[in-house]
């Protein structure tokens, strides 16, 4: 069992839950989880693809589980198009299924 710095009483019963679980439940009940996941994907872009690609990225955003990436050069757009499947797999491993289902390079 993970060690929790903070614990929160579960509203459903009298047991104690881990703070990360409480935050996840809050995001889900307030319907904020999709927006939180989108922001997390954008914030993690450089870490996942590397500095070289991140420096050549003009804009990145997620809409309806589709990741839109605007790049500086057409050649980079073409090169990354060949690795789209690998990149999708990276995002699935990092964020789970359903957060990013498709990537569009612009």
Q: What percent of the chain clears pLDDT 70, i.e. is strictly above it? A: 87
Tally of domains in the chain: 2
* 46, 6: one domain: no
Least confident interval from 1-5, 53-57, 61-65, 76-80: 1-5
* 8, 51: one domain: no
* 43, 89: one domain: yes
**Which residue range is the domain that position 16 belongs to?**
1-31
CATH number at residue 85: 3.30.300
What pTM value is reported for the model? 0.74
Cα–Cα distances (Å) from 64 to 5, 35, 68, 98, 102, in that order, read 34, 10, 10, 10, 10
* 91, 73: one domain: yes
* 39, 16: one domain: no
């Amino acid at each position: 069992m993970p060690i929790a710095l903070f614990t929160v009483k579960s509203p459903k019963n009298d047991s104690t839950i881990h703070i990360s679980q409480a935050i996840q439940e809050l995001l889900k009940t307030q319907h904020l989880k999709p927006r939180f996941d989108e922001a997390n994907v954008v914030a993690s872009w450089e870490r996942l693809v590397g500095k070289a690609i991140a420096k050549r990225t003009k804009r990145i955003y997620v809409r309806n589980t589709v990741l839109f990436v605007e790049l500086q050069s057409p050649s980079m757009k073409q090169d990354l198009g060949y690795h789209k499947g690998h990149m999708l797999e990276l995002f699935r491993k990092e964020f789970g299924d359903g957060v990013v289902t498709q990537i569009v390079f612009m």
